[in-house]
Structure 1
Amino acid sequence: MSEHAVVLESVSVVPAGAEGPVLRDVDLVVEEGELALVVGRTGSGKSTLLGAMCGRVPHFTGGTLHGRVLVHGRDTREHRPRDLADLVGVVGQDPLAGFVTDTVEEELAYGMEQLGLPAATMRKRVEETLDVLGIPELRGAALRELSGGQQQRVAIGSVLTAHPRVILLDEPTSALDPTGAEEVLATITRLVHDLAVTVVVAEHRVERVLHYADRVVHVAVDGTVTVGAPAGVMATSDIAPPVVELGRWAGWTPLPLSVRDARRAARGLRERLATTSGSGPDDVPGPDGARDPSNNRHIRRKMDDPHPTEPSNNRHIRRKMSTATSAPSVVPVLQASGVVVRHPGDVVAVAGVDLDLHAGEVTALMGRNGSGKSSLLWALQGSGATAAGRVRVGGPTTPAVDPAALDPVERRARVGLVPQSATDLLYLDSVGAECAQADHESTVPAGTCAALLARLAPGVPADRHPRDLSEGQKLALVLAVQLTADPPVLLLDEPTRGLDPSAKAVLATTLRDLAARGRSVAVATHDVEFVAECADRVVVMAAGEVVADGPTAEVVVSSPAFAPQVAKVLAPGPWLTVDDVRSAAPGVAP
């Protein structure tokens, strides 16, 4: 048997000041050369588990660790993180925040310098690592000029040069587009299979990593941990990718973990769906006999069936009805024409974009890292500088104005923005103070923001410091602050980072409800499953330009990069989610 890489024996972790443990009686063995995937809801303790494996918990974090953690035989009670640096490498969620030098080569060498390795050894390892990562051409590149996927690979390389036997990664793909994520995962699997490095990955985007994993570690909200083969754990896990949910619904055995396996199992399902739904949900003829391009299949099906078997799927009625009431011929609530955004060094981030946002519509902005999505959102909101073009926000009853010409309070009342780092908008020392300030600035009755927060994330204590909240709670607080002003346009930049599927479902419902109330919502995201769940329209950007714009099903089904898992499994049918399939033919599954 191979040597145990990581062993946890009856481990419980009680954070400083906490009443109970965040991890409870954990027994876990990770073998050498394995890829272990850690899953669980936001705040369940995944990061704490990784921290215990490298000694940061409790040496850096405080609190109490009961039990024993061994890393290749070294006890973390007796060896602090610096004593494990030759064994364990840690890569955090934000690689750019962890860089300490300016160029790729300097960053790869930095860790070895701290270990006091000879210059000749350092040079040799830098070259080897560049080859392993497949980025030798980036040797002298500035770190800030790299794409997100390249930065993540450099972050992995910066720990790899120390020749660790264990690498811990916390949300390594959460900020990456699908292509960048695949590049990083290819690097990770190469380390596992070619170099026998042990890799432990905590990731919410389970669909990206599951089919690579040798074992799955599920951390429950009560701090208990379940460990096993991926198919066994996924059979009952509350965190599961769409292919697993589809397989569980359809009763497939063995349970598929990848699109390939699910597609093979779905041959019969595709045939039965086509028989039940005709040539596909989007091909239902309209009243004039033409095919229905607006994807209003959900309205017709629900109207024909006054007693739907899946009440939760009524979101499709609300979403499509709200879209139908705001046809493109209606004056948009936000119009952007010829918008150009330049960054220092004459870098063109947005290159003459024209974009209209309509009431009652959820629009998803997609594209590679660096395609200009965030820059465009800031320009639309008015806080970001534009080099050319114009933006106007207004409706049938309000005059159109340039949001950049408004003061911050007026601007927020017209266009709300939730940035990638939600905590950038939080500056007071308690949740209650943030809510009270939002009420004051928006001149609404006291308690308005708190009531919104209670609906988005019930049970958040008013006396809690905002930075002590989970990622989902932070997002809910910022969203409540922005919604207190009740703007007709709401922009969100990568809002699903760090959110588990349950929290994403709450967010999707919130955005759909806003659209149903006549608001316009635009979301910049790499999360294709989230887009499939809530977006009416998808706008794809590349090199600062819009390269595709249309109904969600029309745009994503034809895209290998942006198609959700269900669409890939059931192609050429246009179903995007498991709920779509259930709703299309509730009696189809065995």
Structure 2
Amino acid sequence: MITIEQLTYRYPDHAAPCLDDVSLAITPGSFTLMMGPSGSGKSTLLRCLNGLVPHFSGGEIAGSVRVLGEDALSAGPRVMSRHVGMVFQSPEAQFVLDRVEDEIAFALEHVGLPRSEMRLRVEEVLDLLDLAPLRDRELRTLSGGERQRVAIAAALALRPTILALDEPTSQLDPQSAEDVLQALVRLNSDLGLTVVLVEHRVERVLPFVDQVVVLDAAGHVRSGPPRTILPDVSLCPPVVEVARAYGWSPLPLSVKEARRFALGITPTPKPAVSAAPPQRGEPYLRITDLEAGYETKMILNNLSLNLWPGEIVVLMGRNGVGKSTLLRCIVGLLHPRRGNIWINGQNNKGRSVAAISRELACLPQEPDSLLFADSVAEELRVTLRNHGQPEREQVHELLSQLGLDQVATRYPRDLSVGQRQRVALGAITVTQPGGLLLDEPTRGLDYAAKAGLASLLRQWRNQGAAILLVTHDVEFSATVADRVLVLGRGGLVADGSPQSVLANSPLFAPQVARIFPGSGWLTVEDAVAWKG
């Protein structure tokens, strides 16, 4: 169905190729996962399937890409969009209309389907992705995860032969991600839809795939069945890391398969860890009786929480419960209907967003909203100038810590989503604020980049920073959190140590906790340390 031969591609003004002599075959009805480091060319390779590369991006290209017998490189997106449905990393980039149902129907109207057929297809995808309750909502009022599901629904409504998805679960909570993946599996197995999916949170996808394509930093490719490829791949999910450490064979790809091996192991339970924060003086962030919402819809109700200097607090919860709404209230982008917010002992009422951000910097879900300079390094320098601070050596030091020193002179919007996420993080932290609000900071990051981010966050915490991190990434939360909060409809439903909140949670437990229930283990390091 898809045949790629000796494909080499270089973006305009780039010295090195993004893809280098790539040859690959994808069979009809397969479920293929593309994985590899941030910036290795996964999204670029995906865009070759529908002709966006090179027709939209320009650059130099050699080799061939044939999809369903069509020459994708010469046919371009006008022809290939009939065969290949595309879901981008940033769903906002592909929206045209304002309302959920209208957006899903837009592509169907564009190709001239009869009204009766359009109604049927729209209803099908609304039900398939649990979007029926949102059909009349405006897209701007949806959470990041809800917008991601709308983008997938709009692509599926055209009933493409091939569905290409670029990190489709990056903004979804674990249950929503499972629902979306199960829907894709049903379409793949029941209707023969060929799925090609790029994902960094490999633990979510691995049980469903039958082929893995691994790209390295130089743009080279290896492909094959998961159990053939993964033993030699460094960027692997916890279930594979644990299996390799214990020597389990055949290599388990899911928690269910791994638990069969773990039945013969009686782990020593890890002692419970207190979640008591370092309560020295006043909390850096204090919220009392907060109520907030949009128009007539109440999102947060009677919410109170404290964040102290020198701790990392992770806030989790289902899509749409108000996590991003809470951050908007804290930084002054949304005015609460009731309640108070204190930052560093000062009430937020009447303060500007700029004044608040000097003390509590915020990284939004969409990093592009912070990027406007001509180079990566200049993004950090602009922040320093805006805050009236002199440029320091720490610009280069911070870029190195974020793994961006090699792209310091590049235009930020030409980078991958994961790299842009790190540029935005550098831009908000270069002033060394006393507190940080991070909304899905691991989006687009591979396992190595997430480990580097965790190390950096711990360093800032040890220097006294107060860090509130909103994420659906349970594996990252287990690694980095001092305290975990779970937000339910209206308010907090859990507040405790990662061990007490995550270990036995049916929704938020990391893979190691599921493999070894009752052990109190959360991370690969816990499991490997016990083995010795």
Question: Which band: TM-score by shorter chain?
Answer: over 0.9
Question: 1:338 aligned to 2:289?
Answer: yes
Aligned counterpart, 1:380: 330
Question: Measured at CA, do residues 450 and 162 of structure 1 come closer, stay the same or move farther in structure 2, by a change above 3 Å?
Answer: same
Closer, same or farther: CA 151–457 of 1 in aligned 2, 3 Å: closer
1:508 to 440, 454, 474: 454
User: Which residue of the partner structure matches residue 42 of structure 1?
Assistant: 38
State the one-letter code of the partner of 2:61: L
Partner in structure 2 of residue 282 of structure 1: 271
Alignment of 1:217-228 (within 5 A): 217-228=213-224
Q: Distance in 2 between matches of 1:35 and 1:353?
A: 43
C-alpha displacement of 1:146? 5.4
What is the aligned partner in structure 1 of residue 274 from structure 2?
294
How many residues are treated as equivalent by the alignment? 531
> Shift in Å at residue 528 of structure 1?
0.3
Structure 1 position 356, deviation (Å): 0.6
1:460 shift after superposition: 4.0
Equivalent position SS for 1:61: coil
Tell me if 1:567 matches 2:513: yes
Q: Which runs of 5+ in 2 are unaligned?
A: none
Superposed CA deviations along residues 453-476 of structure 1, whole A, max 9, x for unmatched, are 233225244432222333343333
Quick check: 136-145 or 526-535, which moved more? 136-145
- The TM-score with structure 2 as length reference comes to 0.93
Shift of 1:118: 3.3
Correspondence for 2:175 among 175, 179, 190: 179
Mapped pair 1:391 → 2:380: no
Are the structure 2 counterparts of residues 222 and 147 from structure 1 closer, same or farther at C-alpha, using a change threshold of 3 Å? same
Distance 2:465 2:129 in 1: 45
- RMSD, aligned α-carbons: 2.3
The offset of 1:106, in angstroms, is 2.9
Q: What's the CA shift string for 1:506-545, capped at 9, x where partnerless?
A: 1111111111122211100000000001001101001231
Letter in 1 for 2:25: V
d(CA) in 2 for partners of 1:117, 1:382: 45
Partner in structure 2 of residue 467 of structure 1:
413
What is residue 347 of structure 1 aligned with on the other side? 297
SS at 1:78 equivalent:
helix
**What SS is found at the alignment partner of 2:200?**
coil
In 1, the alpha carbon distance for the partners of 2:100 and 2:335 equals 30
Shift of 1:495: 0.5
Contact 2:381–2:391 (8 Å) recurs in 1:
no
Distance in 2 (CA, whole Å) between partners of 1:125 and 1:219 is 35
1:444 Cα deviation from its structure 2 partner: 4.4
Partners of 1:215 and 1:230 within 8 A in 2 = yes
What's the CA shift for 1:388? 1.4
Deviation at 1:374, TM superposition (A): 1.3
The answer as to 2:321 corresponding to 1:371 is yes
Computing the radius of gyration from Cα coordinates, the structure with the larger value is 1
Query: Helix, strand or coil for the counterpart of 1:194?
Result: helix
**Structure 1 pair 337–32 and aligned structure 2 pair: CA distance change class (3 A):** same
- Number of the residue aligned with 1:476: 422
SS in 2 for 1:209: helix
| Deviation for aligned residue 1:216 | 0.5
What secondary structure, in the 3-state scheme, does the structure 1 residue paired with 2:3 have?
Answer: strand
Residue 493 (structure 1) shift: 0.8
Structural mapping, 1:376-455, within 5 Å: 376-394=326-344, 400-407=345-352, 410-440=355-385, 441-444=387-390, 446-455=392-401
Whole-Å Cα distance in 2 between the matches of residues 78 and 444 of structure 1? Answer: 51
Partners of 2:362 and 2:162 lie apart in 1 by: 40
Superposed displacement of residue 330, structure 1: 4.6
**Structure 1 Cα separation of the partners of residues 11 and 409 of structure 2:** 19
Q: How has the CA–CA distance of structure 1 residues 160 and 422 changed in structure 2, closer, same or farther, with 3 Å as cutoff?
A: closer
Corresponding residue number in structure 2 for 1:7: 3
8 Å CA contact 1:93–1:171 kept in 2: the answer is: yes
Contact 2:146 / 2:320 at 8 angstroms: preserved in 1?
A: no
Quote the residue 1:523 is aligned against: 469
TM-superposed deviation, 1:385: 1.8
Contact kept? 1:216, 1:230, Cα under 8 Å: yes
Q: Determine if the alignment matches structure 1 residue 356 to structure 2 residue 306.
A: yes
Q: Which amino acid in 2 is paired with 1:228? A: G
* Cα distance between partner residues in 1 of 2:192 and 2:112: 25
Tell me the CA shift for residue 382 of structure 1. Answer: 3.8
Aligned equivalents of 1:426 and 1:148: distance in 2? 19
Give 1:139 shift: 5.3
1:386 aligned partner, one-letter code: P
C-alpha distance after superposition, 1:302-354 (max 9, x if no partner) = xxxxxxxxxxxxxxxxxxxxx7xx544753222111122222x2222221211
Percent of residue pairs bearing the same amino acid type: 41
Does the C-alpha gap of structure 1 residues 421 and 154 become closer, same or farther in structure 2, counting only changes over 3 Å? closer
Normalised by the length of structure 1, the TM-score is 0.85
Q: Contact 1:403–1:414 at 8 Å: present in 2 too?
A: no
Classify 1:497/1:131 alpha carbon distance in 2 versus 1 (closer, same or farther; 3 Å).
closer
- Structure 2 distance, partners of 1:350, 1:219, is 42
Deviation digits for residues 149-188 of structure 1 (CA, Å, limit 9, x no counterpart):
5544443332333331111011100011111111111111
Secondary structure of the residue that 2:469 maps to in structure 1?
A: strand
Residue in structure 2 matched with residue 320 of structure 1 by the alignment: none
2:444 alignment counterpart: 498
Task: Name the counterpart of 1:300.
Answer: none
What's the CA shift string for 1:519-577, capped at 9, x where partnerless?
Answer: 21110000000000100110100123111111111001121111100011011111000
Please give the residue correspondences for 1:52-201 in structure 2 after superposition, counting only pairs within 5 Å. 52-130=48-126, 132-133=128-129, 140=136, 142-144=138-140, 151-201=147-197
**Is the 1:381–1:404 contact (alpha carbons within 8 Å) kept by the matching residues of 2?**
no
DSSP-derived class of the 1:80 partner:
helix
Structure 2 residue 26 is matched with structure 1 residue 30:
yes
By how many angstroms is 1:222 displaced? 0.9
Secondary structure at the residue paired with 1:79?
helix
Alignment match, 2:435? 489
Distance 1:78-1:487 versus aligned 2 partners, 3 A rule = closer
- Equivalent residue of 1:11, what SS? strand
1:135 and 1:518 map into 2 onto residues whose CA distance is 42
Partner SS state of residue 568, structure 1:
helix
State the 1:114 CA deviation: 1.9
- AA aligned to 1:117 is L
Deviation at 1:124, TM superposition (A): 4.2
For 2:360, the aligned partner's letter is V
SS in 1 for 2:232: coil
State the Cα distance separating 1:419 from its structure 2 match. Answer: 1.4
Q: Is the 8 A contact 2:278 2:309 kept in 1?
A: no
Q: Residue 283 of structure 2 aligns to which amino acid in structure 1? A: P
Using the TM superposition, give the Cα deviation of residue 133 of structure 1 relative to its aligned residue in structure 2, in angstroms.
4.8
Residues 105 and 122 in structure 2, CA contact (< 8 A), matched pair in contact too: yes
**Residue 226 (structure 2) pairs with residue 234 (structure 1):** no
* Distance across 1 between alignment mates of 2:396 and 2:350: 30
With over 3 angstroms needed to count, the CA separation of the structure-2 counterparts of 1:48 and 1:342, relative to structure 1, is same
* More moved, 483-492 vs 113-122: 113-122
What runs of 5+ residues in structure 1 fail to find an aligned partner? 275-279, 284-292, 296-322, 395-399
Distance 1:415 1:467, change over 3 A: same
- The alpha-carbon distance between structure 1 residues 478 and 81, as it changes in their structure 2 partners (threshold 3 A), is closer
Q: What's the CA shift for 1:28?
A: 1.2
**Mean Cα displacement is larger for which, 30-39 or 161-170?**
161-170
Q: Which amino acid aligns with 1:359?
A: P
